Amino acid sequence: MVGAISISSCFTASTRLQARRRLSPGRSGGRAMTAINASQRTVTPAVLGKGVQLEEGNGGLPIVKLSSPGGSEAEVYLFGACVTSWKISGEKDLLFVRPDAVFNKTKPISGGIPHCFPQFGPGPMQQHGFARNLDWSVVGTENAEGDPTVTLELKDNEYTRAMWDFSFHALYKISLSPKALQTVVTITNTDSKTFSFSGALHTYFRAAIEGVRVRGLRGCKTLNKDPDPINPAQGVESRETVLFPGFVDCVYLDAPAEVILDNGLGDSLSIRNINWSDAVLWNPHQQMESCFRDFVCVENAKIGKVELAPEQSWRAEQIIDVLEA
């Protein structure tokens, strides 16, 4: 176990007031770590645990790198707790980061596995909530039989309460094994009143979109946002295999515990979940001309509201496995 690691917020009183008014992103309420200079945004590499290394990523932002003895690797930005890279034995990356992604905290990182919490999609606060727009803290590392794990933490602060006036504690546990990437989200209500939320893991997979196939969703109730994202059409998925011939933005309610993704590049992935009750498929097609051919989003989600009384917790797990050819 290591001490909490975060980038400190060095605000004056007037800056805090301005930030509250603008709801400016990219600030953390945690303690400072000596290995991270917040004002200069420099990172001193440090070993946090066996197979867990703190390094400098794009834009000078801190990343945690996980490495397994089998050769698999993953990278997690503390900003947004965003997993941006997952490689098996030095092979090509299985995740995708969009070419328009920025690493300066002016917006969430576009790609990898961003968080949607405490809101999925548009609503009364910023798109997909604030969890992907804040610095998380490292609160622990583990290594079981060579498989490294890091646990990140996010708590409410002035910025979050300006949008969503509740106290909460979020933990995000990321585990790497030779052929799998596992994540566990735990949300705890630390407030004196009940709150509700929705969420998702907005996972971008590297793909050749013409060859993408998603299996396992037949029979699910659907909310299809094509052509009307405001009033999605309700239906039932009749296809055994979902293809992506054009724009796709569809929610699958009461989705199964496993779907299979063939990414069109020769990789077949099992995407399993525990307690993520729904799934989302998304590809923007020509709305994102520069890169739509190179990725597909297959997301585990909780579209309906989770209601938590004080001191209650909600937990959801995602396991992505590379299937043998």
The set of residues, in sequence order, having a beta carbon less than 8 Å from that of 91 and lying 6+ positions away, is none
Find the range with the poorest average confidence among 22-31, 76-85, 108-117, 266-275.
Answer: 22-31
Strand-pairing partners, residue 297, are 204, 282
Q: What pLDDT sits at residue 122?
A: 73
Query: What average pLDDT score do residues 129-135 get?
Result: 96
Whether 100 maps to a domain, the answer reads yes
Considering the entire predicted model, what is its pTM? 0.88
Q: What pLDDT sits at residue 1?
A: 43
CB burial string 243-278: b at 16+ within 10 A, e below: ebeebbbbbbbebeeebbbbbbeebebbbbbeebbb
166-198: pLDDT as tens digits: 999 999 999 999 999 999 999 999 999 999 999
The answer to whether 123 touches 200, Cβ cutoff 8 Å, is no
Question: Higher model confidence: residue 10 or residue 48?
Answer: 48
Strand-pairing partners, residue 317, are 184, 274
Q: What are residue 117's phi and psi, to 5 degrees? A: -165, 140
pLDDT exceeds cutoff 80 at 65: yes
Helix (H) or strand (E) holding 33: none
User: With bands split at pLDDT 50, 70 and 90, how would you rate the model's confidence at 23?
Assistant: very low
Q: What pLDDT sits at residue 126?
A: 76
User: With bands split at pLDDT 50, 70 and 90, how would you rate the model's confidence at 227?
Assistant: confident
The span from the CA of 69 to the CA of 139, in Å, is 23
265-302: pLDDT as tens digits: 999 999 999 999 999 999 999 999 999 999 999 999 99
Both tokens of residue 28? 């953390």
Helix (H) or strand (E) holding 13: helix 13-22
Cis peptide before 118 (omega within 30 of 0): yes
Name which of 29, 234, 217, 204 is nearest 130 in CA terms: 29
Q: What pLDDT sits at residue 90?
A: 74
Q: What pLDDT sits at residue 155?
A: 98
Q: What pLDDT sits at residue 325?
A: 61
CB burial string 50-73: b at 16+ within 10 A, e below: ebbbbeebeeebbbbbbbbeeebb
Whether 110 maps to a domain, the answer reads yes
CATH code: domain of residue 275: 2.70.98.10
Cis peptide before 227 (omega within 30 of 0): yes
Q: What are residue 286's phi and psi, to 5 degrees? A: -75, -5
Whole-angstrom CA distances from 24 to 117, 169, 173, 213 are 17, 21, 26, 39
Whether 5 maps to a domain, the answer reads no
The span from the CA of 244 to the CA of 242, in Å, is 7
pLDDT exceeds cutoff 50 at 40: no
To which residue do tokens 């991270």 refer?
36
Whether 52 maps to a domain, the answer reads yes
pLDDT exceeds cutoff 50 at 24: no
**∠ CA(79), CA(80), CA(85), 5° rounding?**
85
Q: Tell me which DSSP letter residue 290 carries.
A: T
Laid out side by side, the sheet with 258-262 consists of 137-144, 147-155, 168-177, 180-189, 313-322, 268-274, 258-262, 213-215, 241-242
User: How many structural domains are present in the chain?
Assistant: 1
Q: What pLDDT sits at residue 33?
A: 33
Q: Which domain holds residue 265?
A: 13-322
Whether 273 maps to a domain, the answer reads yes
Whether 8 maps to a domain, the answer reads no
Whether 6 maps to a domain, the answer reads no
Whether 1 maps to a domain, the answer reads no
Find the range with the poorest average confidence among 10-14, 159-163, 253-257, 269-273.
Answer: 10-14
Query: How many Å separate Cα 129 from the centre of its chain?
Result: 12
